[in-house]
A and B are shown apart, each in its own frame.
Chain A
Amino acid sequence: NAGVTQTPKFQVLKTGQSMTLQCAQDMNHNSMYWYRQDPGMGLRLIYYSASEGTTDKGEVPNGYNVSRLNKREFSLRLESAAPSQTSVYFCASRDRDRGGYEQYFGPGTRLTVT
């Protein structure tokens, strides 16, 4: 089991460029999440998908879109990158979204927007 994988690991964008961050999990989990982590801010939820075919906004969704392509894959798209989106992005998955189940995290994508 690879767990949760993310691509790319690093990316530098110019302001206004677009890109898609990819995430895949091989644990047959229903729920998937996208977070961003900024110094001193902890992790903030951008979007989540409770199950295949559904997506919902989290705490900081502005400037982002997501696609739950199938049960395995959950992508995050920046349509027009801004310097404020410089951050480390983590994808996570969980087996169920009711009750107390742990989240499994990918290794992260470090994004710099200049």
Chain B
Amino acid sequence: SQQGEEDPQALSIQEGENATMNCSYKTSINNLQWYRQNSGRGLVHLILIRSNEREKHSGRLRVTLDTSKKSSSLLITASRAADTASYFCATAALSGGYQKVTFGTGTKLQVIP
């Protein structure tokens, strides 16, 4: 079964608004990553937060991690039409000496100009 589950599955907002996506997971992790996928393209890494971090910023992105609740959120501030894409969380945990990464099912974001 999937380690990460995103919610909502789909989100539609107006340009300039903030977009928040959530990710919940089931087991202990080393880090959690967020990726973006434009339609018909491969995934692009956005940001990584380690298990001992609570918050991280990168430009208009803000990621939080609550390991006690096994959840993370991705906030995109002042959204733009170009932010329209699917966003995936990926949890990473050590398994047999190697880092196993498991992707969630994604949130489809539409930003309306």
Contacts and interface: CB of A to CB of B under 8 A. Distances in A.
Would you call the interface of chain A mostly helix, strand, loop, or mixed? loop
B25 interface: no
Interface of B: 2, 4, 30-31, 33, 35, 40-45, 48, 50, 88, 90, 92, 94, 97-99, 101-106
Nearest to B44: A105
A42 B104 contact: yes
Interface stretch (A14-22, A74-82, A95-103): A95-103
A69 to B, nearest CB: 21
Contacts of A97: 98-99
Nearest to B42: A105
Q: For chain A, which range describes its interface: under 10, 10 to 19, 20 to 34, or 35 or more residues?
A: 20 to 34
B103 A42 contact: yes
Interface string A66-92: 000000000000000000000000101
30 contacts: A4-B42, A40-B105, A42-B2, A42-B4, A42-B103, A42-B104, A42-B106, A43-B43, A43-B88, A44-B103, A45-B102, A59-B102, A92-B43, A97-B98, A98-B98, A98-B99, A99-B99, A100-B30, A100-B50, A100-B99, A102-B33, A102-B45, A103-B35, A103-B43, A103-B45, A103-B101, A104-B45, A105-B44, A107-B41, A108-B41
